[in-house]
Amino acid sequence: MKFLVTGGAGFLGSSLANYLVDQGHHVRVLDDLSAGDQGRLDSRVVFARGDTRDIPKLWTLLKGVDCVYHLAARVSVQESALYPVEYNEVNVGGTVSLMTAVRDARVKRVVFTSSGAAYGEQEAQPVPESARLKPASPYAVSKMAAEGYVRALGALWGIETVVLRVFNVYGPGQSIPPTHAPVIPRFLKQILGGGSLVIYGDGKQSRDFVYVSDAVDGLVAAAKASGIDRAILNIGSGQECTINTLVDAIERVTLRTAHRLYNQTESGGVQRLVADISLARDKLHFRPRVDLEAGLQRVLKEDRQFRTT
């Protein structure tokens, strides 16, 4: 098959693109490199630098493509509160432009990676796809809006669409930007460097951490499965983990003791957010295989930024 992966130089996108090309597929990647790194990509992946709002460029890249994976987005909850206009333009406007180009190119299927953040605070846990969305940030709102456009335009224009609400992905090669870094690589870097772990809130807030290869398995299955047009499916581990429990696991795999600093003036975000993955199990035969501690051990073993410590 022929694929286009938008945002394909990012952490999850590059993992997907490299897996697909290893399986013998033809893969094109579009990424503006605002957060991605072309160096992550296998040399067999065809790379183009650009923006999903550039419809003429999309027409070129979409020629002969069977399925589009749309991962390109601005992704920081905290940053989105500072730049809501940009998040709307990129995450929503870019999605509408992409769907327009997909229609023109007559691509069969679009797999859109949304986010578990769209759920917001929910009483029932794990959270099923039927839960009423309560987005609590401009980022989450933009993902909810993009979902709506993907499904509505797909139905209007005869494009098969699948929305995957992906939870907290981690694994080797995840970058640590100077601000708003993902929690797992940030904590690993801090504990291995002998620094303190700054925990927002009381650390009792829980998340669903899914290893990158498991997330890729879900994405791959969504391109091939039948009977899932306009489906919305959660992709996560299905396991609840508090931030304090995460630190406990990091201490075990690193054989270090963390100095924990609790910043009670900063919110830890929603209190609980765990994926109900029963629908993905049914529709995609999705079976996460890597538990948290095994995943952390793989990160330490395979990620260059942690090897020298």
Q: Answer whether 172's CB lies under 8 Å from 34's CB.
A: no
Of 38, 28, 11, 39, the closest CA to residue 68 belongs to 28
pLDDT of residue 266: 73
pLDDT of residue 101: 98
Report helix angle 94-105 to 138-157, nearest 10.
20
pLDDT of residue 178: 82
In single-letter form, the type of residue at position 238 comes to: G
pLDDT of residue 109: 98
pLDDT of residue 2: 98
Query: Exactly one of 19, 69, 139, 211 is catalytic; which is it?
Result: 139
Three-class DSSP category at 121: coil
Residue 209 CA, chain-centre distance (Å), reads 11
Is the pLDDT assigned to residue 39 strictly greater than 60? Answer: yes
pLDDT of residue 309: 45
pTM assigned to the model:
0.97
CA dist 293 and 18 (Å) reads 24
CA dist 56 and 51 (Å) reads 10
pLDDT of residue 230: 97
Of 59, 70, 57, 56, the closest CA to residue 7 belongs to 70
Q: Containing H/E element for 109?
A: strand 109-115
CA dist 182 and 10 (Å) reads 13
Tell me what percent of the residues of the chain surpass a pLDDT of 90. Answer: 93
Q: Where are the alpha helices (DSSP H) in the chain?
A: 11-22, 55-61, 77-82, 84-87, 94-105, 138-157, 183-192, 212-224, 243-254, 278-284, 292-302, 304-307
47-69 per-position pLDDT tens digit: 999 999 999 999 999 999 999 99
- Mean pLDDT across 183-187: 96
81-124 per-position pLDDT tens digit: 999 999 999 999 999 999 999 999 999 999 999 999 999 999 99
Annotation marks residue 139 as catalytic: yes
Q: Answer whether 226's CB lies under 8 Å from 184's CB.
A: no
Three-class DSSP category at 40: helix
CA dist 167 and 8 (Å) reads 18
